[in-house]
Structure 1
Amino acid sequence: MAGKETFTRERVRLTQSHVKHAQALVAKDALQGTGVEFADTVCQGLVLRVRRRSGKFILKSRTGSTTLGDMDTLPVAAARVAAAKVRAEHLKGTPKRLIDVELMCFSGVFAKGHNLETALDVAFTEPHPDDPPEQSVEDRRRYGPWEWRDLVDLFLETKLPTLKDRWRVQFERHLRRTLDDGFAMRRVAAVELKDLVAMRDRVTKAHTLSAAADSVEAVKAALDWAWRHHAPRAGLADVEFPWWRERLTVEYASGTRDHTPTIEELARTLVLAERFKALGGTAKETGPGMLAALWAVVLTGQRATALTGTLRATTRDWPERPGWRIWTWTAAEMKGAGHANGQKKRARPHALPVPPEALAALDRIGAPREGVYLFPSRVPGKRTTAVGMTQFLDRMKGKTKAARKGSVTLRPEDDLLTAHGIRHWTPHDVRRTLPTFLDMERLGGAGSAILAHARRKAQGGAEEERELASAITLKHYIHSQRLELKAEGMQVWVKAILEAVDQERARLGA
């Protein structure tokens, strides 16, 4: 347990001379240890706290401390006034978030060079008996002016229904990261570049640079929406150009993931998934639908989002190949959130022939034989999801999980994958292993077809795939979906996976 911070403490009648002395200590990096505190003898609880890099005024009380403002911004006289105002607000029971907003406004006025009178006029204003009643949330959102929390809530109401489930959860998290006690109640019209940069830096510190990049993009999208469609309500009617597009940036570029797990790593993972269905801290086992879905991802190389939603009614027998089944997905089911060169990828209907050996393997591990979905969840009528599969693999990687009442679900087995010589992989990584393997087997075209990559004409350009519903005959259907070509690749790939599984079972059982 870390020790409590200790400051060298002096009781003085605070003046601007003490502030200048503190600024000199910071500039010369002359402070030793934690820092120094100058406790004011005029205003009870007011302290000028100076650390090696900065100094600030705080108000100490029996229940804690409140930061009043930076010493480079607030004069001593203003700090005393702020301390008195905050103490009065505490006695009235004003929520901390409201006090923080007032303090932010108070400091902001001084930062712009105004005097104490102006700052008091802007912040800590007392309601006048003749003032109209406070605007309700409903009226504020209907007529304006919007606060930042209004922008976030209203934009999410519009945006989330357009996203798929897994992206919906992530996008909302990206945007709600921008809310805190102070920023949430800032009027959108008053938000400046420095505020958004501070928000970006706060998210980076609390999470990661990648998380900040995601939040920045969500913020830009929200501001764009407000500027285009609700400028008067949002307070952006006088903004001639959306400055946030160019000025708000993050020095981050996502790298291209090139991890390609070996067939042995994939097979060993499947065997471990069978053996360790309940992983530490809970007796709850992985459901048969989720286990089967993980096997199906490895056996087919399909995107987890579409695969986990496969409807049993959209699978069919292949009469010319006894024992084979054809799994199909509509263009809407295949639609993803990916982009290529800034353009949305055009989704196409897709069909995949699944050999009897793969179906038998799924049956042996207990894949459900009935239900609306091929891979149902434990909840009746629901399906497994790509997010659930990622969480399944996270458990195998030993990642802990937050539980109720602040507790944590531990994984006594730790990282099963690393312990068994398996590099961490994701469901999408299979889509690199499969075509790489088939390319070495001189079946590169089959691998491309299996993964639903668009084929090209000899003269160049993308050839449009016909909708499955437009197939007039099974012969045309087989031709348009290149089922014979896919079947050739699937047979070779599935055989390699199942042989590797048998070898891993024998090795792990030895």
Structure 2
Amino acid sequence: MVASGAFEGRGYEWADTTRPGLILRVGRQGGAWHLKTEARTVRLGDMSMSVTAAREAAKRAKADLKAGKNPSRDDLRVWEDATKSGVPVRTARAVAFPKTLHEPTQDERRRDGPWEWHDLVDVYLAKKLPTLKERWATQYERHLRRAVDDYLRRKLVKDVTQEDLLKLRARILNERSASAAADTVEAIKAAMDWAKAQEPILSGLDSAAYPWWREGVQVEYQSGTRDHTPTLDELARTIVVAEHYRALGGTAKETDDATLAALWAIVLTAQRLSALVGTRRTTTRDWDERPGWKVWTWTAVEMKGPGGAGKKKAKPKPHGLPIPPAALAALARFGVDRSSTYLFPGRDPRRAVTASAMTGLFDRLKGKAKGARKGGLTVRPEGDLMERYGIRHWTPHDVRRTLSSLLDMERLGGSGSAILAHSKARANGDQDAERELPASITLKHYIHSQRIELKALGMQVWTEAVLATYAREKAAFDARMPAAPVLPEPRAPRARARSRGRSADTNPLPPR
């Protein structure tokens, strides 16, 4: 009919009774197979394609539409050409319509397994981080996420080998430091131990006969014991310098009052930084037996240290510390938000000054540059102020050794140990030796159970020493600073004498 041009009208359509929606549409110029649905019509191929081949093409196209995909024109063209060339149907089907495996979503993979390496890191951190204090949680996450590189990210956990982790260790050693590599390796071991014990099927580690990663990956690194003890002069001078240089690096931001107050509190109390900066107003109370004194308290949870893999620490206990009036007066000089829940509120009064903010203050005083937005760098043109003013670099934890050393010389070593919340020791001697012990007698109520009286002895001596040293360092610092130029006082103009021998203040003769 096509060849003879015997068509009348626009043409004809034949519907297949076996495959609903499959039609053969023939017009004056030729014909083609189509799949017709309620939503759209898809061309499957030329009418020279066999009925069997057209039905297969319609089946594939309909499945794609049902799945929300557009049928591939390339696949249909390959199918048409292959079937017309005499290629076996099975071969043509494999070439034109290759089977594709379902790619599980992230949620499906983490629910059903097997986990990829980044799945293990994400799932483990979700379990681990809530058990850590905020400051340590941030560091721990950074240590473990170093392990998610381009090579390991999509690798199945069960396929990770000793060679993979050794290459990762070598990369970190090359780019960072031995301590960074050690931290990352320890975090990896903890994550794999957890997966092996808690989720062996999902992680695929059920097939691991033994935890090879424990002994198979090591870092030759051992952190040294820090024994730096800053002098009292250095501590006080640091406060003086921080108060004077509040804006550093050419930025508009200045060290706020709450951060400076926290620096004072670090020196005045020698308490652990994370617990100290988070002190709440509701956990401080007046000491009725000593007017003007306060007692700051912390719960066992607040006293909990950062911990870490392989580290055993004593069980944390509640801690109380008496604060003398002179120390409270020194802190009261700063204009912090008194409506905040915290003694040292951050820029957002709903939050406390963070330990990282204090670390940032020390970095600024040391002249360390800081990364800025869009790859920029905030430099410190003032340089290392601590070195300039003869201060050896120190950390908040170092203050504890300074306090302990001073109180030891004052025969108040036991008071110092109590202030620092060290574990108790047993008394072997007379009652006069009790002040030298980390713990003395435990009585029934809170004041005595926390050895507040014992701590007060040391806090009084320590506070007086800090304030006296600060006054001396402040006076010396101010004396070194260039004084502002003194402008001469303006002089009143003098009238000119109108005749020789007469002074300027003598009335002149009247004009002639």
Deviation at 1:171, TM superposition (A): 0.6
Alignment correspondent of 1:272: 241
Map 1:45-444 to 2 at 5 A. Answer: 129-338=98-307, 342-444=311-413
8 Å contact from structure 2 (residues 286, 292) kept in 1: yes
> How far, CA to CA, are the matches of 1:144 and 1:127 in structure 2?
31
* Distance of 1:342 and 1:271 partners within structure 2: 37
Aligned partners of 2:418 and 2:438 also within 8 Å: no
Deviation readout 1:305-327 (Å, 9 max, x if unpaired): 11111111111111111111111
Q: What is aligned with 2:477?
A: 508
Shift of 1:462: 10
* Structure 1 residue 212 displacement after superposition: 0.3
Count of aligned pairs: 378
Q: Partners of 2:282 and 2:164 in 1: how far apart?
A: 53
Secondary structure of 1:249's counterpart equals coil
Query: What CA distance in whole angstroms lies between the structure 1 residues aligned with 2:120 and 2:107?
Result: 13
Assess if the C-alpha contact under 8 Å between 1:332 and 1:347 holds in 2. Answer: yes
8 Å contact from structure 2 (residues 162, 213) kept in 1: yes
Q: Deviation per CA, 1:247-289, whole angstroms, max 9, x where unpaired? A: 1110000000011000000000001111111111311111211
3-state secondary structure, aligned to 1:181: coil
Offset at 1:376? 0.4
Does the 8 Å CA contact 1:288/1:368 hold for their aligned counterparts? no
**Deviation at 1:340?**
12
Q: Do the aligned partners of 1:337 and 1:344 also contact (CA within 8 Å) in 2?
A: no
**Whole-angstrom distance in 1 between the partners of 2:358 and 2:279:** 15
Residue 490 of structure 1 corresponds to 459
* Corresponding residue number in structure 2 for 1:111: none
The CA distance in 1 between the partners of 2:178 and 2:223, in whole Å, is 10
Separation in 1 of the partners of 2:402 and 2:428? 29
3-state SS of 1:326 partner: strand
- Which secondary structure does the structure 2 equivalent of 1:502 belong to? helix
CA contact (8 A) 1:348 1:465 kept: no
Residue 236 of structure 1 deviates from its aligned partner by: 1.1
TM-aligned CA deviation for residue 219 of structure 1:
0.3
3-state SS in 1 of match to 2:374: helix
Residue 394 of structure 1 aligns to a residue whose secondary structure is helix
Kindly tell me: are residues 331 and 252 of structure 1, through their superposed partners in 2, closer, same or farther at Cα, counting changes over 3 Å?
same
Contact 2:158 2:204 in 1 (8 A): yes
Do 1:292 and 1:366's aligned partners in 2 also have CA atoms closer than 8 Å? no
Residue 369 of structure 1 and its aligned partner are, at CA, apart by 3.7
- Write the letter of the residue equivalent to 2:132: L
Change (3 A) 1:350 1:128: farther
State the partner residue of 2:39. none
Report the AA paired with residue 343 of structure 1.
Answer: K
User: Alpha-carbon deviation of 1:465?
Assistant: 11
Q: For 1:438-489, what per-residue CA distance to the aligned partner results, in whole angstroms no more than 9, with x for missing partners? A: 00111100100100112122379998998xxxx97xxx22211111111110
Determine the C-alpha separation between the residues in 2 that align with 1:191 and 1:369: 54
The match for 1:113 is none
1:62 aligns to what? none
User: Following the alignment from structure 2 to structure 1, what is the Cα–Cα distance between the partners of residues 345 and 391?
Assistant: 28
Following the alignment from structure 2 to structure 1, what is the Cα–Cα distance between the partners of residues 201 and 99? Answer: 27
**Structure 2 unaligned blocks of 5 or more:** 1-94, 430-436, 480-512
Could you give the per-residue CA deviations for residues 109-145 of structure 1, whole angstroms, max 9, x where no partner exists?
xxxxxxxxxxxxxxxxx99722322222222221122
Of 360-369 and 444-453, more deviation after overlay is shown by 360-369
Whether the aligned pair in 1 keeps the contact of 2:259 and 2:358 (CA below 8 Å) is yes
Q: Distance in 2 between matches of 1:377 and 1:348?
A: 26
Fraction of identical pairs, as percent: 58
Task: Return closer, same or farther for 1:131/1:465 CA change in 2, 3 Å cut-off.
Answer: farther
Q: Which amino acid aligns with 2:470?
A: V
User: How has the CA–CA distance of structure 1 residues 402 and 339 changed in structure 2, closer, same or farther, with 3 Å as cutoff?
Assistant: closer
Extract structure 1 runs of 4+ deviating beyond 6 A.
459-466
Deviation of 1:187 (Å): 1.4
Q: Which amino acid aligns with 2:172?
A: V
- 2:53 is aligned to none
CA distance in 2, matches of 1:382, 1:225: 33
**Is the CA contact (8 Å cut-off) linking 1:314 and 1:327 kept in structure 2?**
yes
Per-residue CA deviation, residues 394-416 of structure 1 (Å, 9 max, x unaligned), is: 11111111111000111111111
Q: 1:339 to 1:162 in 2, by over 3 A?
A: closer
Residue number in structure 2 paired with 1:455: 424
Pick closer, same or farther for the CA change 1:146–1:312 going to 2, 3 Å.
same
Residue 188 of structure 1 contacts residue 235 of structure 1 at CA under 8 Å; is this kept in 2?
Answer: yes
Instruction: Summarize deviations over 1:178-236 as a string: whole Å, max 9, x none.
Output: 11112211111111111101001111111111000000000001111111111111111
Residue 47 of structure 1 corresponds to none
User: In 2, distance between residues paired with 1:268 and 1:197?
Assistant: 46
**TM value normalised by structure 1:** 0.71
CA distance in 1 between partners of 2:161 and 2:357 (Å): 39
- Cα distance in 2, alignment partners of residues 381 and 465 from structure 1: 39
Amino acid at match of 1:432: R
The corresponding residue for 1:75 is none
Q: State the secondary structure of the residue aligned to 1:185.
A: coil
For the structure 1 residues 189 and 459, does the alpha-carbon distance in structure 2 shift closer, same or farther, using more than 3 Å as the test?
Answer: farther
1:477 aligns with 2:446: yes
CA contact (8 A) 2:277 2:352 kept: yes
The 1:128–1:490 alpha-carbon spacing in structure 2 relative to 1, beyond 3 Å, is: farther
Checking the alignment, whether the CA contact within 8 Å between 2:190 and 2:309 is kept in structure 1 is no
**1:311–1:465 CA distance, 2 compared to 1 (3 A):** farther
